[in-house]
Amino acid sequence: MAVATTYEAVPLVDKESLIPIPAVEDKDKSDDDFDNFPLKYTTTDVAILACSRLYHSDKMTTHDYFGFLSGFLLHIAAQGMQFMLLYLMLKYNVEPMEDPFEDDQFNRMSTVLSGAIQNQKALPWGSLAPPGVDTMLAGYTHATCKKNSTPVGVRFIFLILWFGISWEAISATLSRFSVVWSIPKNDDDPLLDTNAGISLNSAPEKGNHDITHIERRWKLFIFIFILLPHTATILLLVWTGTKIQAFAPTVAVQAKASLKLGIITTVTSTLMTYYGCAHMHKYMGVDPENKDTPVAVNYRIVTPAGAKPKPSMLGKMLASQAWKTWAETVAKLVIGLAFALAIVYLMYPNKEAFDNLCDKYHEDVVGCSKVKSTGRTPQQKFICASFPVRDWFPGWGR
């Protein structure tokens, strides 16, 4: 499947960083000095940039005023689209996957399966109850057993990948709160173009487009109307994706759902790429003419003179500045594996317990694995589950 390239995938590189720096000066510069946080070309960061500029409306033309305002409105549209798509996926895709493993249904289905195993009667013909609701439940249990064929190894792969995506999304969101709050209230940067005027038609150069100051009332506005709704969207996205990876009955369903989630996560960058005005592309340094060596547009936090603060590991993780060494990468993989184990065996144990009952039923009652070489009867073909991935996947169990 071809994926459209978005400006979010293009890293913003500060041209000044391309100039060689003498070794002596390099020692004084620490990678842990987080003075600059690059903006991503998403509706979230563009909306924050717009807020930092719109209260300087006396220094811009009407044309530029509406240019920044359009970025803010695109962010509102992106949030609405993401909420709607996530709600539809959660309501009509994820919830039906989860329903069989909720306690009420699971207890009834597991009772039916346990009785079938104990009495050596295959479902649905060997129903343990008179015709009625219990017979229908037996058929439903059989159908649920048959369609759940995702191996646990495949679920672990998807969950570990989803953990990395979720971590990046949550850390990038939470770091914005800290970064925006740490930006000075007053404009102490003589290079900022708000001192003379703001022009969307100007390209970034030497930090003139950086966000160097935001008044406190505007910070609160950003928190309430931009970052809090964005955080709620990200948490809903993580919750929906985690449930999909935990309950998807087949590998095909899991893969398709992952593609849908990928589309939802890129809405904020896609809207800016294809609907953001060309002047905003230029202002942010992501216009096609400048794509080879674009200039970074940053949140700039001025460090007090002589101070060299070293952020904690938590601060680095929130700022997405960790994972630079192999040891940190290994640590993240271990955390991702622990996340997958917790989801499969602790958060949603009914799914695993039901799959184990289904395996025992197909093995002990129907004898599905014993008749592969000799052929199956029509009844066995109907009852036996198909595991097209488990048969060759180098994992274990389901």
Q: What is the pLDDT of residues 9-44, one digit of tens each?
A: 444 444 444 444 344 444 344 444 456 788 889 999
Average pLDDT of the residues in 61-85: 93
Q: How far is CA 162 from CA 110, 325, 333, 355, 385, in A?
A: 30, 21, 12, 22, 28
Residues 302/207, Cβ–Cβ less than 8 Å:
no
The answer to whether residue 350 is domain-embedded is yes
Q: What is the pTM of this model?
A: 0.80
- Write the pLDDT tens digit of every residue in 76-112: 999 999 999 999 999 988 999 999 999 999 999 999 9
For 256-278, what is each residue's pLDDT tens digit? 888 889 899 999 999 999 999 88
Least confident range from 67-81, 342-356, 377-391: namely 377-391
Tally of CA atoms within 13 A in the half-sphere of 33 that contains its CB: 15
Kindly state whether residue 2 falls inside one of the protein's structural domains: no
Sign of the dihedral defined by the CA atoms of residues 184, 322, 286, 259, in that order: negative
Number of domains forming the structure of the chain:
1
* Confidence at residue 66, expressed as pLDDT on a 0 to 100 scale: 93
Reported as a pLDDT band with limits 50, 70 and 90, residue 163 is: very high
Cα separation of the two ends of the chain: 28
- Indicate whether 229 pLDDT > 90: yes
Split at pLDDT 50, 70, 90, the class of 350 is: very high
The reported pLDDT for the residue numbered 323 is 65
Asked if residues 145 and 362 have their Cβ atoms less than 8 Å apart, the reply is yes
User: How confident is the model at residue 234, as a pLDDT?
Assistant: 94
Domain that residue 40 falls in: 7-13+33-368
Q: What is the pLDDT of residues 364-392, one digit of tens each?
A: 888 887 766 567 777 777 888 877 766 55
Asked whether residue 191 carries a pLDDT value surpassing 70, the answer given is no
Q: Give the helix ranges, DSSP H, for the chain.
A: 23-28, 43-54, 62-89, 95-98, 103-119, 133-147, 152-182, 216-222, 228-247, 251-265, 267-275, 278-283, 313-318, 326-342, 349-360, 378-383
What torsion, rounded to 10 degrees, do the Cα atoms 81, 54, 60, 69 define? Answer: 10
237-260 pLDDT per residue, tens: 999 999 999 899 988 888 888 888
Contacts of residue 73, defined as CB under 8 A and 6 or more positions apart, other chains included, come to none
pLDDT at position 271 is: 93
Measuring CA to CA, which residue among 13, 6, 2 is closest to residue 43? 6
- Calpha distance 31→388 (Å, rounded): 49
User: What local confidence, expressed as pLDDT, does residue 369 receive?
Assistant: 76
Query: Quick check: 142 pLDDT over 50?
Result: yes
In a domain, 272, yes or no: yes
Query: Is residue 64 domain-resident?
Result: yes
Quick one: DSSP state of residue 294? Answer: P
**pLDDT value of position 225:** 94
Residue 141: inside a domain: yes
Better-scored residue on pLDDT, 227 or 289 = 227
pLDDT of residue 83: 94
Residue 45 belongs to some domain of the structure: yes
Rounded Cα gap, residues 351 and 100, in angstroms: 8
Query: Which pLDDT score, from 0 to 100, does residue 374 have?
Result: 65
Residue 190 contacts residue 210 (beta carbons within 8 Å): no
Please say whether the beta carbons of 276 and 267 come within 8 A: no
DSSP code of 295? P
CA–CA separation, 386 and 271 (whole Å): 42
d(CA 251, CA 248): 7
Bigger pLDDT: 226 vs 207: 226
Percentage of the chain exceeding pLDDT 70: 76
Helix axes 267-275, 43-54, angle to 10 degrees: 60
Confidence at 134, pLDDT banded by 50, 70, 90: confident
**Is residue 75 domain-resident?**
yes
Nearest to 198, CA basis, from 8, 58, 312? 58
Q: Is 243 exposed, middle or buried (0-12, 13-18, 19+ CB in 10 A)?
A: buried
Is residue 143 a part of any domain in this protein?
yes
Q: Which two tokens stand for residue 291?
A: 């794509």
pLDDT band at residue 175 under the 50/70/90 scheme? confident
Question: Average pLDDT of the chain?
Answer: 80
